[in-house]
Structure 1
Amino acid sequence: MSLRIFGAAALAGALAACTGTASDAASSPAPSGSPAADASAPAVAPVLLTPEARDVHSYAVPSVARVTHVALDLSADFDAHVLRGTATLDIKAADDANQIVLDTRDLRIASVTDGRGRTLPWKVGESHPAHGAPLTVGLDGTDRIKITYATAPDAPALQWLSPKQTAGGKYPYLFSQGEAILNRSWIPTQDSPGIRQTWDASITVPKSLTAVMSAEMLTPEGRPASGDRHTFRFRMDKPVAPYLIALAIGNLEFKALGPRTGVWTEPGMLKKAAWEFADLPKFVDAAEDLYGPYRWGRYDVLVLPPSFPYGGMENPRLTFATPTVIAGDRSLVSLVAHELAHSWSGNLVTNATWDDFWLNEGFTTYFENRIMEKLYGKRRAAMEADLGWSGLQEAIKDAGGPSSPDTQLHLNLTADRDPDAGMGEIAYEKGATFLRTIEKAVGRERFDEYLRGYFDRHAFQPQTTAGFLKDIRAHLFKDDPDLAKRIGLEQWVYEPGIPDNAVHVKSDAFPAMDMAAKEYAEGGLVASVPDDVSTQERVRFLNRLPRDLSRERLAALDERFDFSHAGNSEIRFAWLMLALGNRYPPAAESAEQFLTSQGRRKFVAPLFEVMMNEGDWGQSLARRIYAKARPGYHSVTSGTVDEIVGWNGA
């Protein structure tokens, strides 16, 4: 347990000391140049002290003592699967605060000293399965502490890959995934999205490998360290939520896609990745045209090995992306639009707690679709929005129906619930639908103007649902409060289900797909099924087929379209959901290949779930495949699937 011995005087002083306000005021191996620090980025970002901004998933007490800067000096040990070194933290505290509480998870703390090397008292409290353990450090008047430590070999934020788990097959690989509260397993800091911190890092790795991070790279070639090792240095001069500190180490190469964009990946994947993301400069330009300047300098993409658990992660300056989006036809690049949009919604303005995860993802999903419309037209954007609507209906069913509290935008996650519980389609698609509903009510031009102002007013700050509602009333509905009432702002965010005024964007391409699915299910010829259609239309067709097709009907589709070997991950996933649910024998081999070649939770978890629902046939198949696939999954994915299949380590 944390040793919280702060008095009333300390709390009162901290309110003044810790809150603060935001000021208004090419093909080289590694791009390092970036514009000067944005004038609107405060040296110390504010924290919110309102009741709804209290983060129950962090041990930190930022109202008394908070971290403002993290300096990492770490060495990667690929044999022991350990990062070891130091984290030096700058502290802002009330005058009479005598300790600070940090978040840790399974860290091996060796010592804690102040800025002059004096030993400080410290204690690690009782550990929680999801939250880890509090590290309480006595300050003794210092505003800087240095923690010497090592990570655990199984730190959940870190995935150490053997050479055979990479595309090249020759060198090992390491990547981190910090959202929501996993970064405390490799960085001892206050791991709460509402406590934004600047940071820098020195990362020492074997000379055969390159380190990249979600920050400006200061040493593109690395500096000699000792023997066969070299050190890479990084700097993030803008305060970010700590879950956005990200690291990857591997045999990496870079290709510029424009003066401020490019792609990193393993050498064998570089050509394909660069082709797939060739429009990256256009994405940035389109986003800026919509909602104002990109404030992070560079925007690059790192294509990770297949075990990465998400489609993408919006780490500042360097999006981490799954290779499953490399379809060879740029049909899945909306993922990049999504992660880029996070540079405004999420990275620039961040949910203060995980109860308001929708402020990150709902805004971003809406923004993503606007980028896609600007670049690829209304028809493409409408198809993707309509697929999102269908996904929302399924998510509501999975949550227990429209009366389930988990269908609210603002959640009430208790301390014993992992914040990952709120990271589903509800936050993404209900949030985006809410914003589209506002847009329809006020007009796109007015809504765009409001959003540009919103991002400016709250840049580099945390936000809550209550804060957003206050802002939108003050700036968008100031002269028409009755319109805000008719939209039902509170109902949208604080009540379950989907209000009746929800805007459903309908694609004019999908009725033909729905009819084709209906006709085929009723015995139509496979030759009549449309062939030359987009990925989105093909996914719609597969999703609209009844879940109880005969083996003969499935075989005819598979023979014509070769769905079992589809290289497009979205089409392959939609097919396997249908085929496995019908116990279609050829789907077993396809599922095994798909599930052992990538670890994206969006695909993996539902497929194991559908197999587990298919009696002995599906359950034995699921457990056999999972035993083979699990060693290659990140903890984010395996933690979910363990529960689905009842994994006991056997």
Structure 2
Amino acid sequence: MRGLTNFSQSSLLFKSIHITIRSPSLASARQQPRRSYSFTSLRMAPTRDPNTLSNYGAWLTKHTTVNFKVNFDKQRLEGSVSLDLESLTDKESNEIILDTTCLDISSVKLSNVDLKWELKETVAPYGSPLHVTIPEGAQKGDRVKLDIALATTKDCTGLQWMTPAQTGNKKHPFVYSQCQAILARSILPCQDTPDVKSTFTFNITSSLPVVASGVPVPSDNSGEGERLFRFEQKVPIPSYLFAIASGDLATAPIGKRSVVAAGPEAIKAAQWELEDDMDKFLDVAQNLIFDYQWGEYNVLVLPPSFAYGGMENPIFTFATPTIISGDRQNVDVIAHELSHSWSGNLVTSCSWEHFWLNEGWTTYLERRIGAAIHGGPQFDFSAIIGWKALEDTVKLFGEDHEFTKLIISHKGVDPEDAFSTIPYEKGFHFLWYLERLVGREHFDKFIPHYFKTWAQKSLDSFEFKATFLDYFNQHGTDEIKQKVAQIPWEDRFYKPGLPPKPDFDTSYVDSCMALAEKWKSSDYKPDLKDVESFTSNQTLVFLQAVQDFSPCLSVERAQLLGSTYNISSSKNVELKTAYYGIALRAGDREAFPGICELLGSVGRMKFVRPLYRQLVKLDRALAVETFEKNKDFYPSTTKGQLAKDLGLR
């Protein structure tokens, strides 16, 4: 998601040289083939990940086993974690350093022998590193297995505990994890960096059903009371993809290899929303890249407080209930999260500074899936919506802000503070630019090459550049080679603000913009027929255009828009939020009750942060009162960001 020393000033620069790289990542040193790349103006980062305190350059986690009991009464996980680590250094290594924050650790053992360990002083915002002494040291290639007994605490930021009253059917408690970006360390000691990948075993005891980011293993978990739920993740994953959830869950099939899990009261609606598109999404993605590698692809629809549209946890995507809108118009979120099965999960950015490699690629793949299913213009239509979000983000940060660069400096920064649409949309536009440069036919051959080259590994932007240049210098025509040689990598990586705006195919947008033009006249008399032929996303584009009016609509006109088009009563949160943006710009205080109700029923940051920012300008007291009333409903990520937005910390 998201400042370090400015690479444009402090990195080493190599010009037109030929070098051989072994091991694109310290974390995968023993997995890499020897490959030769040609570099032009290659900038090499002096460090891989500034957001971890672990010594992952000396030790590599090979496998992680978690043995947790879900204690709903005390709202904590209790048990142990076993870490199988390999020494990477040529000289003797006698200390392992792991990331932790706010954990209650009771012992660290090696072969049932207690080890000397110490939690060092907290380094904000990265937690307290756990230093473990290996008494006899280890040579390169040696393996050790640490057994760490622990419990999470009330300050755990990676878990969201919900009382029965906060869930859909209000009968049972619920807990779910959210580890991106650096919150896994609040659940278990680990090398909390995307530059390290480990296989996982999950042994979770709970009185309620459990899902996790692994394939379920048959076990006797029938009956009442506490039961053991087991999962195996045999594809190495980074710590931020560690995921568990437990609550009153039902499941229903939505595809050949897919189920949806949700509260019993929501399962039928969730099944209907997703079953029509799931296999279509999967088929298109496999044809575009290569076969799905994870076995199952399932979706967990979470309670309303969830901070994101979706979280791409392997096997089980965690999804916001706002996608269940009753019109199948918001399921592109699932196309996005499915695309992460290749981009982000299989091929991973080595640090949050290069997060665009995860999200830019995923946004690109999501739009290719949408175009394959809904027609070519859908690609540009989605890109136009994304461009509006990109413009808004750049305006919010400021066009010269560090966080509007493709590669962002992260030293001493909480990655969450830099999170925005930048890596998604600016990353997408860089990839789309490369596609147009070489032609889609040639770019489509590069896509599987890239993902096969880096499967189960982590990389940075410079290694992506090297892979791209190597491929097209070997396989491109003379014309393509000439074009590739002129790519302005420096500008694309480090120039803040908006990238060059492409010429969009506006086929799906023209009618939306034409309606918006009519609304610029105060004499225009609207009719429901205006939007009857629109998809929800076309209505969204229309609303976004009206949001940008200068001067803005009057209170009366804003109210007329909402009532005529039935938007103020819509169940589609995307549309309601866009309409409330218009109402707030108009200063419509009659909309305040509806806005406050939405802010108390949805935790998705995409919606609540913009609404709070606008509400605080009109009525700070109401905005703060609404936040204080609902802060325990929001997960820690949302709560922290909203507190900053409101100037409360």
Q: TM-score if structure 2 supplies the norm length?
A: 0.89
Alignment of 1:26-37 (within 5 A): none
Instruction: State the match for 2:558 in structure 1.
Output: 554
Instruction: State the match for 1:574 in structure 2.
Output: 578
Is 1:245–2:242 an aligned residue pair? yes
Of the three residues 114, 130, 134, the one matched with 1:135 is 130
The CA deviation at 1:562 is 2.9
Instruction: State the match for 1:603 in structure 2.
Output: 607
- Which moves more between the two structures, 139-148 or 164-173? 139-148
- Aligned letter for 2:237? V
Partners of 1:118 and 1:495 lie apart in 2 by 53
Instruction: State the match for 1:20 in structure 2.
Output: 29
Instruction: State the match for 1:3 in structure 2.
Output: none
Partners of 1:52 and 1:495 lie apart in 2 by 20
Instruction: State the match for 2:4 in structure 1.
Output: none
The CA deviation at 1:623 is 1.5
- Partners of 1:18 and 1:64 within 8 A in 2: no
Instruction: State the match for 2:121 in structure 1.
Output: 126
The CA deviation at 1:558 is 2.1
The CA deviation at 1:363 is 0.5
Q: Helix, strand or coil: the match of 1:267?
A: coil
Instruction: State the match for 2:102 in structure 1.
Output: 106
Label 1:320 to 1:16 Cα distance change in 2 as closer, same or farther (>3 A): closer
Partners of 2:268 and 2:26 lie apart in 1 by 51
- Partners of 2:308 and 2:320 within 8 A in 1: yes
Partners of 1:111 and 1:160 lie apart in 2 by 25
Q: 1:182-241: CA deviations, max 9, x gaps?
A: 0100011110000111111111111xx1011010111365278xx921111111111111
Q: Helix, strand or coil: the match of 2:259?
A: strand
Instruction: State the match for 1:193 in structure 2.
Output: 194
Instruction: State the match for 1:92 in structure 2.
Output: 86
- Aligned letter for 2:307? P
The CA deviation at 1:408 is 1.3
Q: Helix, strand or coil: the match of 1:487?
A: coil
Instruction: State the match for 1:9 in structure 2.
Output: none
Is 1:594–2:598 an aligned residue pair? yes
- Aligned letter for 2:538? E
The CA deviation at 1:144 is 0.8
Partners of 1:144 and 1:457 lie apart in 2 by 30
Q: Helix, strand or coil: the match of 1:131?
A: coil
Label 1:201 to 1:321 Cα distance change in 2 as closer, same or farther (>3 A): same
- Partners of 1:441 and 1:487 within 8 A in 2: no
Partners of 2:341 and 2:504 lie apart in 1 by 25
Is 1:263–2:257 an aligned residue pair? no
Label 1:277 to 1:51 Cα distance change in 2 as closer, same or farther (>3 A): same
Instruction: State the match for 1:491 in structure 2.
Output: 491
- Partners of 1:74 and 1:203 within 8 A in 2: yes
- Partners of 1:74 and 1:85 within 8 A in 2: yes
Partners of 1:451 and 1:489 lie apart in 2 by 19
- Aligned letter for 2:357? L
Is 1:434–2:430 an aligned residue pair? yes
Partners of 1:24 and 1:254 lie apart in 2 by 42
Label 1:153 to 1:357 Cα distance change in 2 as closer, same or farther (>3 A): same
Partners of 1:381 and 1:18 lie apart in 2 by 36
Of the three residues 604, 613, 617, the one matched with 1:613 is 617
Alignment of 1:172-183 (within 5 A): 172-183=173-184
Partners of 2:156 and 2:443 lie apart in 1 by 43
Partners of 2:181 and 2:113 lie apart in 1 by 33
Is 1:450–2:446 an aligned residue pair? yes
Partners of 1:221 and 1:281 lie apart in 2 by 30
Q: 1:246-280: CA deviations, max 9, x gaps?
A: 00000111112233111111111111101111121
- Partners of 2:25 and 2:459 within 8 A in 1: no
Of the three residues 403, 410, 426, the one matched with 2:407 is 410
Instruction: State the match for 2:57 in structure 1.
Output: 63
- Partners of 1:52 and 1:464 within 8 A in 2: no
Partners of 1:604 and 1:90 lie apart in 2 by 41
- Partners of 2:161 and 2:176 within 8 A in 1: yes
The CA deviation at 1:394 is 1.4
Equivalent residue pairs, number: 600
Q: Helix, strand or coil: the match of 1:133?
A: coil
Partners of 1:493 and 1:23 lie apart in 2 by 26
The CA deviation at 1:497 is 3.0
- Partners of 1:53 and 1:352 within 8 A in 2: no
Partners of 2:171 and 2:536 lie apart in 1 by 34
Unaligned runs of 5+ in 1: 1-13, 26-49
The CA deviation at 1:21 is 4.0
Partners of 1:634 and 1:527 lie apart in 2 by 40
Alignment of 1:292-307 (within 5 A): 292-307=290-305
The CA deviation at 1:18 is 6.5
The CA deviation at 1:15 is 12
Label 1:117 to 1:412 Cα distance change in 2 as closer, same or farther (>3 A): same
Q: Helix, strand or coil: the match of 2:135?
A: coil
Q: 1:392-417: CA deviations, max 9, x gaps?
A: 1111111211x333221111112x21
Instruction: State the match for 1:29 in structure 2.
Output: none
Partners of 2:162 and 2:25 lie apart in 1 by 46
Instruction: State the match for 2:37 in structure 1.
Output: none
The CA deviation at 1:504 is 4.2
- Partners of 2:562 and 2:579 within 8 A in 1: no
Q: 1:576-635: CA deviations, max 9, x gaps?
A: 111122221221111111111110011011100011122xxx212212221222110001
Q: 1:353-380: CA deviations, max 9, x gaps?
A: 1100000000000000001111122233
The CA deviation at 1:543 is 1.2
Is 1:336–2:345 an aligned residue pair? no
Alignment of 1:628-639 (within 5 A): 628-639=629-640
- Aligned letter for 2:232? R
Label 1:359 to 1:18 Cα distance change in 2 as closer, same or farther (>3 A): closer
Alignment of 1:203-242 (within 5 A): 203-206=204-207, 209-219=208-218, 222=221, 228-242=225-239
- Partners of 1:357 and 1:422 within 8 A in 2: no
Partners of 1:485 and 1:559 lie apart in 2 by 55
The CA deviation at 1:477 is 3.9
The CA deviation at 1:451 is 1.1
Label 1:216 to 1:328 Cα distance change in 2 as closer, same or farther (>3 A): same
- Which moves more between the two structures, 489-498 or 122-131? 489-498
Partners of 2:616 and 2:473 lie apart in 1 by 49
Partners of 2:225 and 2:528 lie apart in 1 by 62
Partners of 1:537 and 1:15 lie apart in 2 by 43
- Aligned letter for 2:610? P
- Aligned letter for 1:74? F
Partners of 2:312 and 2:49 lie apart in 1 by 21
- Partners of 1:17 and 1:92 within 8 A in 2: no
- Aligned letter for 1:248? A
Partners of 2:560 and 2:157 lie apart in 1 by 43
Unaligned runs of 5+ in 2: 1-22, 35-43, 137-142
Is 1:285–2:283 an aligned residue pair? yes
Alignment of 1:365-404 (within 5 A): 365-401=363-399, 403-404=400-401
Partners of 2:68 and 2:120 lie apart in 1 by 24
Instruction: State the match for 2:39 in structure 1.
Output: none
Q: TM-score if structure 1 supplies the norm length?
A: 0.89
- Aligned letter for 1:409? L
Q: Helix, strand or coil: the match of 1:286?
A: helix
- Partners of 2:249 and 2:263 within 8 A in 1: yes
Partners of 2:157 and 2:191 lie apart in 1 by 17
Q: Helix, strand or coil: the match of 2:99?
A: strand
Partners of 2:499 and 2:632 lie apart in 1 by 43
Q: 1:298-334: CA deviations, max 9, x gaps?
A: 1000000001100000001110000001111111111
Partners of 1:162 and 1:471 lie apart in 2 by 49
Partners of 1:598 and 1:53 lie apart in 2 by 38
Is 1:78–2:72 an aligned residue pair? yes
- Partners of 1:223 and 1:232 within 8 A in 2: no
